[in-house]
Structure 1
Amino acid sequence: MRTVILVPARFASSRYPGKPLVMLRSLDGVTKTLIQRTWEAAMAVRGVAAVYIATDDSRICSVAEGFGANVIMTSPFCENGTARCADAVVRAGIEADLVVNVQGDAPLTPPWLVEALVEAAAADTDSDMLTPVVRCDGETLAHFLADRREGRVGGTTAVFDRNFRALYFSKEVLPFIGGEVADPIPVFQHVGLYGYRSTSLAAYGTFPPGPLEIREGLEQLRFLENGMTVRCVPVSARGHVFWELNNPIDLVRIESVLGTPVKEVTT
């Protein structure tokens, strides 16, 4: 199965303008841009045919080419990362069985997470799109709840059926947490990573945004609103955290663990 990784990145983020070029300092004191750290995470994935950064911004392009990335310039009118991936595939003439979207604000994405997604895609050929989920630990759940209490749009949660088919994704903490939290915690964090069949990605752009996607601001809901099958792939955290850079406060969270060795345990 030929797999290509795309890292979509835009400068004009409404919540965090210029986010891809924000500098992140790891625990070893090395400072690099967010987009470089995310690209490096993508480059560490085994068995991938190619990795590209997809952007419409010349500043991001210049920085990315400076650290050695292959860049595809896309339309400035792509409304989200999935649309940018679809546009990049057409513009670059990419041929792939699976297109993986590693979002440009996810520098903590470990290679084994992407590899698990690719493996699941090879085994489940009926899914239109696949995306990983991780059961929340206490610290991550506390961050999610704190973001909601303080009015910040933070991480995303996922709910799915017994066959791991997605039912819904939300910026709210779902399912509802009231009183004492159960063990194991019943909340699954959606990791900012998607694997699309090439035909499904091409179809995405033909669908208009639906009311759920518009309200939540979550592009993956367009697949669900149009009757497409989204497979959630549960993965073990392996002692890792998966915070994305959604708000300036996330800088501290990410830098506090950036460069921490991943525990080598089996899932």
Structure 2
Amino acid sequence: MKTLIVIPARIGSTRFPAKPLHQIAGHSLVSRVADVAARVAAARSDTSYVIATDVNAIMDHAAEIGAPAVMTDPDLPSGTDRALAAARAQGEAPDFILNLQGDAPFTPPAYLSALIEAAATTTADVVTPVVQLDWAALDTIRDQKTREPFSGTSCIRRSDGMALWFSKQIIPAIRKEEKLRASEPLSPVFRHIGLYGFRMAALERFASLPVGHYEELEGLEQLRFLENGMSIMTVAVEPGANAMWGIDTPEDARFAEGLIAESGDPMEAPR
């Protein structure tokens, strides 16, 4: 199965201008994400990666760090559309495309490998990782949502892993929670990790469909698949060593530098 990891790296950001080029502990944000993809590609003969950008500055930076890159239309509406454009620009179309967000430098390479392996055994249109929350993690997310109600996404899934729904609300609601806390170490809530793997045909169909009603209400692209009868397989993964997911603001970047200082730099880990 020919797999392409695409790293969308758009220069425009109202909250964090030129974010992909921002230096975090001596390395640009996009180079840190590219390092994650490169580690996965080096371990798999059928996997490659590319940075998909919309400006020459990032193309030039990619050349400096030795990362493959492709120019895409700056007017594309989403990272998913940019991933499709990058896939279409390849000499040979991939079978499977992983959309690795360009602001997620702490993504464990094992998450990408888990999606690639799952795609080889399922006919689902999309595969994506989830983490089952323990009660302490659930309490933390509930507290966070009192300040940032649209932070974090939860998922309801069938016993076979197929997704039923995603929401910015914490789902499911839990009756008799105290009894469940006393008997189970893990809550019934799965947190969605924003990493997607697509069949090429599914990605092309996604791009041809209008924005869905619930997609627009929740601000979640993956709901477009579910609203149109397409299937999403969720893959349960272990929580990462670093709980931080994305870099959205300069404050996030400073916090990330603190985490690297405390816990070590993932770019310096053995390959």
Judged with a 3 Å threshold, the aligned counterparts in structure 2 of structure 1 residues 87 and 226 are, in CA distance, closer, same or farther, namely same
Bigger shift: residues 57-66 or 189-198: 57-66
The CA deviation string for residues 12-59 of structure 1, in whole angstroms up to 9 with x for no partner, is: 23443332222222xxxxx21111101101111121431100011222
The 1-side partners of 2:136 and 2:253 are apart by: 16
Normalised TM-score (structure 2): 0.84
AA aligned opposite 1:251: A
**Any residues of structure 2 matched to 1:5-44 within 5 Å, and which?**
5-25=5-25, 31-44=26-39
Contact kept, 8 Å, 2:172 with 2:189, in 1: the verdict is yes
1:236 corresponding residue in structure 2: 238
Q: How does 1:96-135 map to 2 (within 5 A)?
A: 96-124=94-122, 126-135=123-132
Shift of 1:155: 2.5
Give 3-state SS (helix, strand or coil) of 1:148's partner: helix
Query: How far 1:244 moved relative to its partner?
Result: 1.5
The residue aligned with 1:208 is: 210
Question: Aligned in 2, Cα 1:216/1:20: closer, same or farther, shift over 3 Å?
Answer: farther
Q: 2:160 aligns with which of 160, 163, 178?
A: 163
SS in structure 1 opposite 2:13? coil
Structure 2 residue 230 is matched with structure 1 residue 222: no
Counterpart code for 1:3? T
Map Cα deviations across residues 107-149 of structure 1 (whole Å, 9 max, x no partner): 111111111111111011x200100111234665455334321
Which TM-score applies when normalising by structure 1? 0.85
- 2:146 and 2:217 map into 1 onto residues whose CA distance is 19
* In 2, Cα distance between equivalents of 1:142 and 1:32: 33
Q: Please say which of residues 165-174 and 248-257 is displaced more in the overlay.
A: 248-257
The 3 A distance-change label for structure 1 pair 138 and 69 is farther
Superposed displacement of residue 254, structure 1 = 3.2
- Using the alignment, how far apart are the partners of 1:140 and 1:15 within structure 2? 27
Is the 2:4–2:87 Cα contact (8 Å) retained in structure 1? no
User: 3-state SS of the aligned residue for 1:214?
Assistant: helix
Q: How far apart, CA to CA, are the structure 1 residues paired with 2:174 and 2:258? A: 27
Tell me by how many angstroms 1:172 deviates. 2.8
Asked if 1:154 is matched to 2:151, the reply is: yes
Structure 1 pair 3–177 and aligned structure 2 pair: CA distance change class (3 A): same
Q: Matched residues in 1 for 2:255 and 2:172: separation?
A: 24
**In 1: Cα distance, 2:75 partner to 2:214 partner:** 21
1:45-84 → structure 2 map (5 Å cutoff): 45=40, 46-47=43-44, 48-84=46-82
Instruction: Give the whole-Å Cα distance in 1 for the aligned partners of 2:118 and 2:161.
Output: 11
Q: 2:245 is paired with a residue of what secondary structure?
A: coil
**Secondary structure class of the residue paired with 1:6:** strand
SS of aligned partner of 2:186: coil
How far residue 203 of structure 1 moved from its aligned partner, in angstroms, is 1.1
Identity of aligned residues (%): 38
Bigger share in helix = 2
Residues 261, 188 of structure 1: alpha-carbon distance in 2 compared, 3 angstrom cutoff: farther
Alignment of 1:238-257 (within 5 A): 239-257=241-259
Corresponding residue SS for 2:208: coil
Q: Specify the SS of the correspondent of 1:50.
A: strand
The answer for the alignment partner of 1:90 in structure 2 is 88
